[in-house]
Amino acid sequence: MVLGLKSKEVVTLKDGSVTAPKGFKAGGVHCGLRRTKLDLGYILSEVPAIAAGVYTTNVFQAAPLQVTQKGIAVEQKLQAVLVNSGNANACTGEQGLQDAYVMQKWFAEKLGIEQHYVAVTSTGVIGVPLPIEKIESGIAQILSPEHEHVTNFEEAILTTDKSVKHHAVQMEIDGKTVQIGGAAKGSGMIHPNMATMLGFITTDANIEYEDLQLALRQVTNHTFNMITVDGDTSTNDMVLAMANGKANNEKLTESHPDWELFIKGLKEVSESLAKQIARDGEGATKLIEVHVKGMKDVSSAQAIGKTIISSNLVKTAIYGTDPNWGRIVCAIGYSGEKVDPEKVSVSLGPIKVVEKGLPCLFSEEEAVHYLQQENIHIEVEMDQGDYEATAWGCDLSYDYVKINASYRT
């Protein structure tokens, strides 16, 4: 057994990120796309890593996503990721596509690796040509030792985010320590319809492409796809996972005895990043968690949870500390799922406000006090089955309008 690890246990690493797994490093630099902040970051694996991804469903898919997907399709491997903030390189036509390829080519040449081993992605303002000469300047200096730090990467990928987002775990598989790390950005244009943010997950696990892709999709459906900030789905965003095999465990597949342990670790990293994104929503003051129980299947529970968390009336009520449970019930009713109103119960934290479709007597003062907290839990019991799901979001404040009214200026 690995010293300090218990079998079948996932251990959270303090301040862990994408460099927690063996064989990964990261960094970032300021190249001038943003006025003063770091704006060009990278992740690099010592060896080509198995790569999987999930991508935005927006039909206006940005040029870097197209280039990255084509690159992964060659061998299902990546060795490096290059990310810029400040410019989305989306809706930029043929020139934007060529700029994305040039960005990929330059970084590959800098690293001395095959071009398709480099993923490129961009985030920022849509419809503005990418200042490619600034990217070239950044690539020239980005690998310098003074720029090699994971915090530089985490900061370089941010746009309107207030804070960096990271998480990492480790576990024992086949007597080897396997680690999974992640970093993400996301604050606005967040809606539960993959993928409305940028997420980067690394692991030193030994796993094949099909199994990593399967694991990422399964976990994404219960984490990144269960968050919302404002109901907008971006043109650019995705989650990439890289597995370089440096842990030297036996190859992970669905039939491996520790497959569920690996999934548990991947889910912890993804859920933590998803919740950090939801909490960091533009102008947000609270994280809202909606737990829906008692449905006939998971997808129905998910649909109801996402409808509640997406409701602007629910979000504004939470911001205003108004225990207006009618807005929650209303959202359940228009979710599109079959609902028996006489079986629905709703609680705000420990305070039950609806039972079997009817209002409960509760202390308005206690409910207001509960809603003043930073983390708000809404529990919905449907009493129609045995399945459940959880969704996360944030309140909607005046600052959201202020931030987005002046995003380009």
> Which residues are annotated as catalytic?
196
Q: Which residue has the tokens 């968690």?
A: 289
Residue 278 phi, psi dihedral angles, 5° rounding = -60, -45
Q: What is the DSSP letter of 356?
A: T
Beta-carbon count within 10 A of 102 CB: 16
Tell me how far apart the alpha carbons of residues 352 and 316 are, in angstroms, rounded to a whole number.
Answer: 20
Tell me how far apart the alpha carbons of residues 178 and 8 are, in angstroms, rounded to a whole number.
Answer: 12
H/E stretch holding 242 reads: strand 238-243
The sheet carrying 375-381 orders its strands as 358-359, 351-355, 345-348, 375-381, 287-295, 387-394
Q: Please list, in sequence order, all residues whose beta carbon lies within 8 angstroms of the beta carbon of residue 406, skipping any fewer than 6 positions away.
A: none
- Radius of gyration (C-alpha) of the chain in whole angstroms: 22
The two three-digit tokens of residue 345, written as one number: 């119960």
Is residue 122 within 8 Å of 184, Cβ to Cβ? no
Residues forming beta bridges with residue 199, ordered by sequence position: 184, 239
Burial class (CB in 10 A: 0-12, 13-18, 19+), 370: middle
Tell me how far apart the alpha carbons of residues 14 and 326 are, in angstroms, rounded to a whole number.
Answer: 41
The two three-digit tokens of residue 118, written as one number: 């480099």
Q: Which residue has the tokens 């934290």?
A: 349
DSSP secondary structure string for all residues of 57-117: --SS--HHHHHHHHHHHHHSEEEEEEEEEEE---S-HHHHHHHHHHHHHHHHHHHTS-GGG
Tell me how far apart the alpha carbons of residues 304 and 341 are, in angstroms, rounded to a whole number.
Answer: 13
- Would you put residue 87 in left (φ > 0), alpha (ψ -120 to 50) or beta? beta
Q: Is the dihedral of CA 146, 149, 155, 156 positive or negative?
A: positive
